[in-house]
């Protein structure tokens, strides 16, 4: 800053200009997140849009025939892929929700000091393992184990992928769930303890009802993560277009289909455009899930 | 002391059961991690040697090492960070220092949350539409720059969120003191807020490195080749705009699912290197954070 006092009122025009510049740059960057969200929708939609005119919506969403490479009569029905995504997500959540929320309760209420710190660090590291490594684990570690334990012919199937997705979405549930429990005022805990409640009674009579919304948001974010996961499900589901009858059937998901097939399509072909439309579907699903989670979290802040 | 009535005894037992139950839940997630990572490292470590790390892959990946993939990952991380770190930090400065409580700020928050939730494969599609074909860096072909920009957009929320937390940790009194001596908003940020939060910001950047290094789906659509025959083994293997590169994450996928005649230990070795890189980077961020917390002055 200028130190001569007579110059004080007018800091150099240059300084003022550069400050203006940097401030407008800051505004632009702040705005960038909005631009990118719209940009993602715009570009994904733009690449897929030409096919909309040829698209039969009922067939697209409900037919289970996905035969995009047929030279005679290609069929673009994503019904089986939607069922695949939904079934993997549901099974994964059935495993992850109890474990994730249970671990969140344990980290937040049942342990302190060193144990708590190291558990949080381990969960953070768990979240950092890349999804392709999870896929590799499914392919080469879990698959033989599943074959040996459940006596099924193929180890890469719905259950394998769901197990991986559960392990992958637990960290986000734990950290958001723990935040939600931490947000419950300590006076609630003190009141419960003063009435003679044990910690367990306090957890399920006071904390869980009080943190209900935050825990729901944690689950929703886990669901969002599971729906959007690509590499792990590509490698561990078996990647067969199939409506599963049992836990050990191979399935195929929306995300994995895009990842596996886009590289082999030519720019602008029907198949290429349909894959982008699947992208639009995925974007819309996760957008709704995340928006709901956000509104639910806002709900706690107000209430 | 009071006597233990059956009621209290029952209560105590429920408490102990609950504690064991929740501890079991936490252990059920932590222990598999150790077992699996341990298994991969044990199977992969013997195959890792100096040659494995510094030679290029040969014979479709069946022979040779992973040098080209390591360099490729480095390129992508470098360029993506060079774009997203400044934008992300400035966006966080906007949210934390300039934004007022209005609908626009809420929109930005919502956009950040949603950007973080968009599936990685959709980011990949966006990269194809926006950077490969629309920006057209490399004549409608995949390129390193397209992959790096895709990941930059994708990891933006990571850096915005962590930087915002770092900025929020600087006490308000620091800013007020600075305003009181006549500094402008930007001077306050530049001289007081950023220097006091730089370490927190750096931690976020480090975490972003690990996230970027592990991503597979978006880069395989926008700029990473499964296999590339390269003659030299220097640092400058690729042209950032004209070339596709190899990457560690994609190499693991390729070797594990598509390559032929690969020695059984190779994919484990690649996985070990990839997990090693990511965990070391993350551990560094954690140690850094703990160190900072211990020497915080306020």
- The ipTM, to two decimals, is 0.89
Among candidates B49, B82, B80, B53, which has minimal Cα distance to B69?
Answer: B53
Whole-number Å distance between alpha carbons of A284 and A288: 6
DSSP per position, B115-180: HHHS-HHHHHHHHIIIIIIIS-TTTTS--HHHHHHHHHHHHHHHHHHHHHHHHHTS-HHHHHHHHH
Q: Which of A33, A106, A126, A296 to mutate to test the interface with B (most CBs of B within 10 A)?
A: A33
Percentage of chain B lying above the pLDDT 70 cut: 98
Rounded Cα gap, residues A7 and A50, in angstroms: 63
Same domain, B27 and B143: no
Residues B96 and B189 in one domain: yes
> Does residue B188 lie in a domain region?
yes
Residue A5 lies in a domain: no
Residue of chain A whose Cα is closest to the Cα of B270 = A133
Q: Is residue A120 assigned to a domain?
A: yes
Contacts of A293 in chain B (CB under 8 A): 113
Does A267 sit within 8 Å of B210, measured CB to CB? no
Asked whether residue A28 is domain-assigned, the answer is: no
Indicate whether B18 and B140 sit together in one domain.
Answer: no
Report the candidate in B135, B145, B254, B243 with the shortest Cα–Cα distance to residue A263.
Answer: B254
* CA–CA gap between residue A252 and residue A230 (Å, rounded): 11
Q: Count up the domains in chain A and report the number.
A: 1
Max mean pLDDT among A119-128, B54-63, B222-231, B246-255 falls in: B246-255
Is the pLDDT at A1 greater than 50, yes or no? Answer: no
Would you call B65 helix, strand, or coil by DSSP?
A: coil
C-alpha B174: how far from chain center: 31
Which of B22, B99, B126 shows the shortest C-beta gap to A30? B99
The tally of domains found in chain B comes to 2
Judgement on whether residues B193 and B158 belong to the same structural domain of the protein:
yes
A218 alpha-carbon distance from chain centroid: 11
Q: Is B92 helix (H, G, I), strand (E, B) or coil?
A: helix
Q: Are residues B36 and B63 in the same domain?
A: no
Whether residues B16 and B75 fall in one domain = no
Q: Above 70 in pLDDT, residue B287?
A: yes
CA atoms within 13 A on the CB side of A49: 8
Whichever domain contains A212, its CATH number is 1.10.3720.10
SS3 A237: coil
d(CA A283, CA B198): 34
B234 Cα to chain A: minimum distance (Å): 27
- Asked if residue B30 belongs to a domain, the reply is yes
Q: Are B20 and B70 in the same domain?
A: no
> Would you call A282 and B156 a contact, using CB atoms and an 8 Å cutoff?
no
Q: What is the pLDDT of residues A25-73, one digit of tens each?
A: 999 998 899 999 999 999 999 999 998 888 888 888 888 888 888 888 8
In a domain, A292, yes or no: yes
Residue B13 and residue B92 in one domain = no
Reported as type and span, the H/E element at residue A107 is: none
Is B1 part of a structural domain of the chain?
no
CA dihedral B112, B114, B117, B122 (to 10 degrees): -110
DSSP B228-268: ---S--SS----TTT--B--HHHHHHHHHHT-SS--THHHH
Cα A94 from chain centroid (whole Å): 15
Contact B23, A106 (CB under 8 A): yes
Question: What domain range includes position A230?
Answer: 66-302
CB pairs under 8 A between A and B: 270
pLDDT at A6: 47
Once rounded to an integer, what is the mean pLDDT over residues B69-79?
92
Q: How far apart are CA B232 and CA A276, in angstroms?
A: 37
pLDDT, mean of residues B258-283: 90
How much is the pLDDT for B254? 92
Pair B124, B213 in one domain: yes
Interface probe for A, chosen from B119, B207, B276 (most Cβ of A below 10 Å), is B119
pLDDT in tens, B109-152: 889 988 988 999 999 999 999 999 998 888 888 999 999 999 99
Closest CB to A110 among B22, B39, B253: B22
CB < 8 Å to A95, chain B: none
Q: How far is B211 from chain A (nearest CA, A)?
A: 7
The Cα of A63 is separated from the nearest Cα of chain B by a number of Å equal to 23
Our CA-based measurement puts residue B235 at a distance from the nearest CA of chain A, in whole angstroms, of 25
pLDDT tens for A32-44 read 999 999 999 999 9
From A71's Cα to the closest Cα of chain B, the distance in A is 24
Cβ–Cβ under 8 Å, residues A219 and A93: yes
Query: Cβ distance B227 to B60 under 8 Å?
Result: yes
Does a structural domain hold residue A269? yes
User: In whole angstroms, what is the distance from residue B128 CA to residue B155 CA?
Assistant: 17
**Is the pLDDT reported for residue A201 higher than 60?**
yes
pTM: 0.90
**pLDDT tens digits for B82-116?**
999 999 999 999 998 888 888 888 888 889 988 98
Whether B127 and B18 map to the same domain: the answer is no
Measured between beta carbons, the chain B residues lying within 8 angstroms of A25 are: 90
β-partners of residue B57 are: B64
Tens digit of each residue's pLDDT (9 = 90 or more) over A230-251: 999 999 998 888 888 888 999 9
Name the minimum distance, in Å, from the CA of A58 to any CA of chain B.
23
Q: Report if residue A41 sits inside a domain.
A: no
Residue A49 lies in a domain: no
d(CA A49, CA A66): 19
Task: Please report the pLDDT score of residue A4 as a whole number.
Answer: 46
Query: Which of residues B228 and A3 earns the better pLDDT score?
Result: B228
Selected residue of A8, A30, A217, A288 to mutate for chain B interface (largest B Cβ count, 10 A): A30
Q: Domain span at residue B42?
A: 6-47
Q: Write down the pLDDT at residue A302.
A: 53
pLDDT at A7: 47
In a domain, A225, yes or no: yes
Same domain, B263 and B123: yes
Helix axes B120-127, A254-261, angle to 10 degrees: 40
Cβ-Cβ contacts under 8 Å, A141 against chain B? 36, 39-40
Percent of chain A beyond pLDDT 70? 95
In a shared domain, residues B30 and B79? no
Cβ distance of A230 and B119 shorter than 8 Å: yes
Contact yes or no for B117 and A103 at CB 8 A: no
B257: chain A residues, CB-CB within 8 Å:
139, 235
Least confident of A120-124, A182-186, B218-222: A120-124
């Amino acid at each position: 800053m200028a130190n001569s006092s007579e110059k004080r009122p007018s800091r150099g025009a240059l300084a003022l200009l550069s400050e203006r510049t940097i401030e407008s740059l800051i505004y632009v960057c702040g705005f960038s997140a909005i631009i990118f969200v719209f940009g993602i929708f715009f570009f994904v939609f733009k690449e897929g849009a030409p096919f909309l005119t040829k698209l039969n919506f009922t067939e697209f969403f409900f037919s289970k025939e996905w035969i995009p490479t047929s030279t005679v009569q290609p069929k673009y029905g994503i019904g089986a892929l939607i069922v695949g995504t939904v079934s993997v997500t549901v099974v994964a959540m059935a495993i992850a929700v109890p474990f994730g929320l249970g671990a969140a309760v344990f980290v937040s209420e049942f342990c302190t000091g060193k144990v708590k710190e190291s558990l949080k660090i381990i969960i953070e590291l768990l979240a950092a393992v890349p999804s392709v490594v999870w896929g590799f684990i499914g392919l080469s570690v879990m698959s033989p184990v599943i074959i040996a334990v459940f006596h099924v012919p193929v180890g890469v199937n719905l259950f394998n992928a769901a197990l991986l997705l559960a392990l992958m979405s637990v960290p986000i549930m734990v950290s958001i769930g723990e935040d939600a429990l931490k947000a419950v005022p300590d006076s609630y805990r003190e009141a419960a303890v003063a009435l003679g409640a044990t910690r367990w009674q306090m957890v399920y009579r006071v904390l869980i009802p009080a943190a209900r919304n935050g825990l729901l948001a944690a689950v929703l974010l886990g669901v969002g993560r599971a729906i959007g996961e690509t590499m792990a499900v590509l490698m561990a589901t078996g990647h067969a277009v199939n409506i599963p009858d049992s836990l050990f059937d191979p399935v195929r998901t929306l995300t994995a289909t895009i990842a596996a097939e886009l590289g082999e399509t030519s720019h602008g072909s029907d198949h290429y455009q349909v894959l982008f439309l699947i992208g639009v579907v995925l974007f819309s699903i996760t957008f709704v899930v995340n928006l709901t989670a956000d509104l639910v979290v806002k709900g706690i802040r107000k209430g | 002391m009071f006597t233990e009535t059956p009621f209290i005894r029952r209560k105590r037992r429920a408490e102990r059961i609950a504690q064991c139950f929740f501890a079991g839940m936490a252990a059920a997630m932590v222990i598999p991690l150790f077992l699996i990572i341990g298994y991969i490292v044990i199977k992969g470590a013997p195959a890792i040697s100096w040659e494995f790390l510094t030679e290029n892959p040969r014979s479709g990946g069946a022979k040779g090492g992973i040098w080209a993939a390591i360099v490729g990952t480095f390129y992508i991380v470098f360029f993506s960070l060079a774009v997203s770190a400044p934008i992300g930090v400035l966006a966080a400065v906007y949210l934390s220092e300039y934004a007022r409580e209005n609908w626009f700020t809420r929109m930005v928050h919502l956009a950040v949350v949603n950007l973080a939730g968009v599936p990685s494969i959709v980011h990949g599609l966006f990269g194809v539409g926006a950077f490969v074909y629309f920006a057209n860096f490399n004549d409608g072909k995949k390129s390193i720059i397209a992959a790096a920009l895709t990941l930059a957009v994708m990891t933006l929320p990571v850096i915005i969120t962590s930087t915002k937390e770092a900025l929020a940790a600087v006490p308000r009194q620091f800013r007020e003191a600075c305003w009181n001596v006549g500094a402008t908003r930007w001077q306050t940020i530049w001289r007081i807020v950023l220097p006091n939060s730089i370490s927190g910001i750096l931690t976020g950047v480090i975490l972003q490195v690990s996230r970027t290094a592990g991503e597979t789906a978006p880069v395989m659509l926008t700029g990473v080749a499964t296999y590339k025959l390269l003659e030299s083994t220097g640092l400058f293997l690729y042209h950032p705009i004209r070339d596709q590169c190899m990457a560690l994450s994609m190499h693991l996928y390729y070797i594990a699912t598509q390559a032929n005649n690969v020695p059984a230990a190779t994919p484990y070795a690649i996985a070990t290197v990839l997990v090693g890189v990511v965990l070391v980077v993350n551990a560094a961020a954690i140690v850094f954070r703990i160190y900072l917390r211990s020497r915080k002055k306020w």
